[in-house]
C-alpha cells in the first residue's frame, strides 16, 4: 500500500490468489506438503529484493517517527 491505497500489484482476485497459492504449493517437495512434520527442514533464503524493500520500509518508518 502507498498513501492508504493498494498498489496495482496487490489487486488480484480471490481466485487468482488461490491459484497462485496452489501453484506455489505444488512446487514444494512432497515431504513438505504432508500433514506430518518434515524430517528435514527446507532451506529458505531472503532475496536481495526483499532485503532492499525491508530496508526502504524501515527508513520510511524512521522518517515518519514510527
Q: What is the pLDDT of residue 4?
A: 84
d(CA 10, CA 29): 27
CB 32 within 8 A of CB 42: yes
pTM over 0.95: no
Cell 497459492, located at residue? 21
Q: What is the pLDDT of residue 66?
A: 53
Question: Would you kindly state where each structural domain of the chain is located, as residue ranges?
Answer: 8-63
- What is the chain's pLDDT, residue by residue, as a tens digit (66 residues)? 788 887 877 788 889 999 999 999 999 988 888 888 777 777 889 999 999 999 999 999 888 765
CB 25 within 8 A of CB 42: no
C-alpha cell of residue 56? 526502504
Amino acid at each position: 500500500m502507498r498513501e492508504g491505497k493498494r498498489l496495482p500489484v496487490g489487486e488480484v482476485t480471490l481466485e487468482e490468489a488461490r491459484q497462485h497459492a496452489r501453484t506455489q504449493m505444488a512446487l514444494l517437495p512432497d515431504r513438505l506438503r504432508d500433514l506430518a512434520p518434515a524430517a528435514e527442514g527446507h532451506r529458505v533464503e531472503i532475496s536481495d529484493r526483499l532485503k532492499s524493500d525491508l530496508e526502504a520500509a524501515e527508513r520510511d518508518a524512521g522518517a515518519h517517527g514510527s
